[in-house]
Amino acid sequence: MVDSGRALNTLRSAFVGPFRVAASVRHARVFHPKGLVARGTVEFNSSWWPGRTRIPLTVTARMSGGIGTPSTLPDVLGLALRIDLDEGTTPWDLLLASSGTSSLTRLLPLPATGWNTARYSSLMPLSSTGGPPTWVLAEPVGEHPPTTSINALADALAIAPLVFSLQLATFTNTPTPTGRVVLRDVCELADDDQPSFDPVLNCPPAIALQPEWLAAVRVGAYRGSRRGRGATNG
């Protein structure tokens, strides 16, 4: 019987090469090549989350288009969050993508027509302290740009913060609001200088992505994409 750890390492390694080549040819991230980085705060209102609750934590976010279509066309939109938990610990990278709102469609990356209509999902469920598989969801609150334009995000942030409601949902339960993200300041960074997020490596011990084999695939894909474009930023 094949050792499960060895099988996961083999699966992980299998995805490094193809994503490295794709990123090298594109000279950019394989997916979500163009984005905007902003800083703000996140506040959790449930013990499901790691770290402190009801205390604002620093967050760095990258909002991006999955393919980079013209702003008048739909795209799979991304909301990547790097959350500073307790001091001295590794930040938590939480990656969300536009998806559907049902139990089945929240597993799929789906295009949105604008930042104001996007409904974000972790796509893969997460388990907190060994609990049931749970999806992290995010929904825009208030005014967000009605197109997929990155420039429109910067213009919107120059006027007012961008706010998101964070929600948790199991496969059978309806989403429950359990947090809030507020983005306030744009970080003027070229795409090549923007941080690389890895939700598998930068993950608190209490949180596990499921299923394990798909997490291994994501490790290989992110590693290959970073190597292909020569990224050294974390």
**Rounded average pLDDT over 180-205:** 91
- pLDDT one-digit tens code per residue, 27-49: 344 455 889 999 999 999 999 99
Model confidence band, residue 227 (pLDDT cutoffs 50, 70, 90)? very low
**What pLDDT is stored for residue 27 in this prediction?**
38
pTM comes to 0.80
- How would you classify residue 142: left for phi > 0, otherwise alpha for psi between -120 and 50, otherwise beta? left
% of the chain exceeding 70 in pLDDT: 76
Domain of residue 182, CATH code: 2.40.180.10
Distance, CA of 185 to CA of 138 (rounded, Å): 19
**Rounded average pLDDT over 120-143:** 95
Q: Would you say residue 219 lies in a domain?
A: no
Q: Would you say residue 57 lies in a domain?
A: yes
Q: Would you say residue 48 lies in a domain?
A: yes
- Annotate 129-175 with DSSP letters as a single string: TT---BEEEEEEES---SS--HHHHHHHHHHS-EEEEEEEE-SSSPP
- pLDDT one-digit tens code per residue, 65-109: 988 788 888 999 999 999 999 877 889 999 999 999 999 999 999
Q: Would you say residue 121 lies in a domain?
A: yes
Highest mean pLDDT among 64-68, 163-167, 212-216: 163-167
Q: Would you say residue 230 lies in a domain?
A: no
What is the DSSP secondary structure assignment for residue 118, as one 8-state letter? -
**What pLDDT is stored for residue 228 in this prediction?**
46
Q: Which residue range(s) make up the domain with 187?
A: 31-209
Q: Would you say residue 2 lies in a domain?
A: no
Residue 19 pLDDT > 50: no
Q: Would you say residue 193 lies in a domain?
A: yes
Highest mean pLDDT among 106-120, 189-203, 220-234: 106-120
What is the DSSP secondary structure assignment for residue 101, as one 8-state letter? S
Number of domains present in the structure of the chain: 1
**What pLDDT is stored for residue 214 in this prediction?**
57
**What pLDDT is stored for residue 32 in this prediction?**
56
Q: Would you say residue 3 lies in a domain?
A: no
Return the minimum-mean-pLDDT range out of 61-70, 152-161, 169-178, 215-224. Answer: 215-224
Angle between helices 4-14 and 212-228 (to 10 degrees): 40
Residue 12 pLDDT > 70: no
Q: Between these two residues, 29 and 209, which has the higher pLDDT value?
A: 209
